[in-house]
Each structure stands twice: as structure tokens, then as C-alpha cells.
Amino acid sequence: MALVSILVTDLIADIRTQSGLRNNQFYTDSDIRLMLLEAGQELYDDIEGSFQAYIVTTFDFTIAAGANTVALPSDFKRDNSLTYNPTSNCPTPVKPLGSWLERGAASTAGMGGTYRLYYTPFFSTTGAGGTEALPVSMTPWTQYLKTQVSITIRTGRQQDTSALDAKLQGLKQRVNASVKNRTQSPRQAPLTRRRLINGYDTLDTSRRYWLNGGNLELYGFGQPGGNW
């Protein structure tokens, strides 16, 4: 079952109920929104810091013949991997360039084609006003966020938070267990031997990518199926 985004306005309403604030304007909806986004950013960073591949999205792009550069998505934070011909029967991984100096020995010719970048985005909401929503990756953890913000509100009003504190500890354990299960999953052994399909090296030693500011650049070394 696919996850759906949760509206910020719905979360604010739930937080008002859970914290006991209800219609009291001691904290306005704008105040609660800022608390919620701050809590979301903190949790997002904790999860992403524990397991960088937990939150990953894709960016499909095409490089025209004679070109080698594409602008990165506005929400780009960190690259995970790049694939050449991602929808073909033989998608090919493209390795990152080893160093800035290697660009001098590379060619920018022949880099045209279709690519898919797997990357970790920055934490950000979508929409605005009544349609503003948290990232889909935060949907499983909305109870955590609502509880944390409710504690902040009750603390600001000098009210007891013991029941919510206990609830938050249980939710923290769920988050940690989920991330731990992801990081302990079996991993494929590194590909150390070349494998050719129709004469094409599946490690794609002829292509490398480099992140340069807000752009992704592609460089070539030799011919497909050959040695680097």
C-alpha cells in the first residue's frame, strides 16, 4: 500500500487536541506549524544520518548529444547512485569520478543519453496554505511528530507531560528499530569482476560523473567494454 502525504493543517488540528490546547491561541497555528516543521527536520536528519539510503528519490534526465551537464534538482542533498539507460534491458551503473584532477584526463564527448539519479532530498514540504503537506517519507512517523510537538506545547504552558513523555519513548524505539532493520538487511557483494552483455561492460568504465556546485557533469574514459 502506497504512503500518502499528510496535510500540515490536519496535523496541527491533531496536535491541538493531543496537547489539550484545543482552540486556545496561546500558541497560534503558525506557531504550531513552525514547531512541527522543526520536529520533522530533526527526525528526518536523525533517520537519514543513521541510514543514508533510507530516504531516496529519483531524478530522470536526458543529456543531449554534445553536452555533458545537467542541473541538479532543487531539493538535492546527497547522491546515492547514477544509472545509464535506466529503462533498458541492461541498465548500467555509472561510478562517481575519483577526484577533481581526473577531469583533466577525461572527455566530454559521447555522454548523450538517458540517466536516472538516485539521491537523498532535503527535508521540505509541498504545497502551501491548506494544501501544505509533509514529505511522504515522514508519513509513518506522524504520531512521533505530533507527540513531540504536544510535549513542547504543554511544557511551554507549564503542564504535566509525563504521559506524553512515556509515549514518545515508545515511538522513538519504533523509529530506531525500523532504521536498524533497514541497515541490517543483506547486502549484495561488490561487483569486482567485469561482466559483458553484447560487448558492453556492465560496470561502465567509460563513464563517470562529478557533482560540481548545482550541476552533475559526465565524463568519458575510453570505449564501452574496454579498460579504463
Is 34 inside a domain boundary?
Answer: yes
pLDDT for the residue numbered 180: 76
Count structural domains, the chain: 2
State residue 226's pLDDT score.
36
Distance between CA atoms of 91 and 48, rounded to whole angstroms? 27
Q: Which parts of 167-214 are beta strand (E)?
A: 196-197, 200-201, 207-212
DSSP 107: B
Identify the pLDDT of residue 100: 85
Q: 143 and 43 share a domain?
A: yes
Average pLDDT, integer, range 91-95: 94
- CA torsion 104-106-107-111 (nearest 10°) is -130
Whether 26 is in a domain gets the answer: yes
Per-residue pLDDT of 110-126, as tens digits, reads: 999 999 999 999 999 99
Which is higher by pLDDT, 219 or 206? Answer: 219
* Helix (H/G/I), strand (E/B), else coil: 105: helix
Based on the fold, state whether residues 83 and 164 are members of the same structural domain: no
Which range of residues forms the domain containing residue 111?
57-115+199-220
Q: Reply yes or no on whether the pLDDT at 45 is more than 80.
A: yes
pLDDT tens-digit map of 126-180: 999 999 999 999 999 999 999 999 999 999 999 999 999 999 999 999 998 888 7
The larger pLDDT score, comparing residue 192 to residue 46, is at: 46
- The verdict on 81 and 48 lying in the same domain is no
The answer to whether position 84 is within a domain reads: yes
Q: Which three cell numbers stand for residue 181?
A: 532493520
Rg of the chain over CA atoms, in angstroms? Answer: 23
Asked if residue 66 is part of any domain, the answer here is yes
53 grid coordinates? 539510503
Co-location of 136 and 47 in the same domain? yes
Both 110 and 206 in a single domain?
A: yes
pTM: 0.80
Same domain, 44 and 87: no
31 or 195, greater pLDDT? 31
Does 28 share its domain with 45?
Answer: yes
Judgement on whether residues 107 and 16 belong to the same structural domain of the protein: no
User: Of the spans 38-52, 71-85, 182-196, which averages the highest pLDDT?
Assistant: 71-85
Examine the domain organization and report whether 76 and 95 are in the same domain. yes
